[in-house]
Amino acid sequence: MTRVRDILLPQTDAKPLVDGFQRRISYLRLSVTDRCDLRCSYCMPERMTFLPRKEVLSLEELYRLSLGFIARGVTKIRVTGGEPLVRRDIVDLFRALGRELGKGLEELTLTTNATQLAGYADDLAAAGVKRVNISLDTRDRAKFAQLSRRDVLPQVLEGIAAAKAAGLKVKLNTVALKGINEDEIPDLVGWAHGEGFDLTLIEVMPLGEVEEDRVDHYLPLTEVRARLAQRWTLTPLSDSTGGPARYDRVEETGGRLGMITPLTNNFCAGCNRLRVTATGQLYPCLGGGERVDLRAALRSDDPDANLQAALNEAMRIKPEKHHFDISQRGAEPAQPRHMSMTGG
Ligand code: SAM
Ligand code: SF4
């Protein structure tokens, strides 16, 4: 079994991460694999080509890299993918990072499709994970099988129940898809709130080639919000989690409803995050092509110093904002990378 050893990084450069637009970076989204056991049609094609394993960072490298970020003031790490729970021995990384909680790291969390969560929820909670984001686009089994191309909704619901039973705070993420789940959105929100879960709706983004034209399923959340407001009283909440979501309280359910609107409402001014792929490529912007190679730094003669230099370079090149456009049929994606590659 792979063991994540304790690696003590020298504090070569303890300057906080601040980019050229004076945005303080405190949040890392760390992809631990590009692989996935589902094939959500808006995310990746059925015949997705995955990376050779040797290109992917080892658990030790992922840990060392995380320590480098924590040394520069990153307080929150979200482990993602692909599907993070398909990575072998991933709990070792959670345990190792969990030991950094309270020592610079304030929050350790993950985004998962929950297919394997039933087997992991207790271990994750024991490692120090308090909250989990779970992607759920529909509670209709046939629709789930069609959308994700795998008939595993029962396992996903079991995973969600296990997370709740383990005491993890659950937030559901739902991509709003025209003609697919749009009619189900009110029921999903009502169910989530009844279970005590927040739910965040997401606009589909033009990232990576898929078989379909995303224009066909793009559903602006401005429309969804207007429809939900006919049914419920939505009170905008001013408290922000520092992320791109805007929140409403649904007065009738008492739950929170988030909306991530990269297309209809640009949120880049408050961006506090960086993304690292499973191969150690740091993308300072989800929608941009700028990149810094952290794997080369990690595998160099002086990994810690070169990692810190690479982080400085990322601060220099982080763009002001993304330029998504999904209005043109047949257009190229904004970026050739799939969301599963960059880490959602
Ligand atoms: N496999 C995990 C999951 O599904 O939760 C984590 C990775 S997945 C790439 C993270 C999130 O990205 C999911 O909520 C998924 O629905 C979302 N996503 C994937 N492709 C997307 C796209 N093109 N536009 C918007 N959201 C997307
Ligand atoms: Fe896999 Fe998540 Fe992409 Fe679905 S959205 S194919 S679960 S990585």
Could you please report the per-residue DSSP string of 58-87?
PHHHHHHHHHHHHHTT--EEEEESS-GGGS
Please tell me the distance from the alpha carbon of residue 240 to that of residue 233, in angstroms, as a whole number. 20
Q: 235-288: per-residue pLDDT in tens?
A: 999 865 556 788 999 999 999 999 988 766 566 777 888 999 999 999 888 777
Tell me how far the alpha carbon of residue 10 lies from the centroid of ligand 2, in angstroms.
36
pLDDT of residue 17: 93
Given a cut of 60, whether residue 290 has pLDDT beyond it is yes
Q: CA nearest 292: which of 282, 300, 302?
A: 282
Q: Is the pLDDT of residue 2 over 50?
A: no
Q: How far apart are CA 125 and CA 49, in angstroms?
A: 33
The model's pTM is 0.91
- Pick from 33, 36, 160 the residue to mutate for probing ligand 2's pocket: most ligand atoms within 8 Å of its CB: 36
Strand 169-176 relative to strand 246-250, pairing = unpaired
Question: Could you tell me the distance, in angstroms and rounded to a whole number, from the CA of residue 40 to the centre of ligand 1?
Answer: 8
String of DSSP letters for 231-292: HS-EEEE----SSS-EEEEETTT--EEEEE-TTTS--GGG--EEEE-TT-EEES-TT----E
Handedness of CA 335, 313, 81, 103 (dihedral sign): negative
We report the CATH number of the domain holding residue 137 as 3.20.20.70
What residue type is 335 in one-letter code? Q
Pocket of ligand 1 (CB under 6 A): 36, 42-43, 80-81, 83, 111-113, 135, 173, 175, 202, 204-205, 207, 339-340, 344
Rg (CA), the chain: 19
- Site to probe by mutation for ligand 1, drawn from 86, 117, 202 as the one with most ligand atoms within 8 Å of Cβ, is 202
Domain extent for 306: 4-342
Is residue 207 in contact with ligand 2, taking CB distance under 6 Å? Answer: no
Residue identified by tokens 């694999």 is: 33
In this prediction, residue 331 carries a pLDDT of: 62
**What is the predicted pLDDT for the residue at 332?**
60
d(C-alpha 192, C-alpha 137), whole Å: 12
Per the structure, the count of domains in the chain is 1
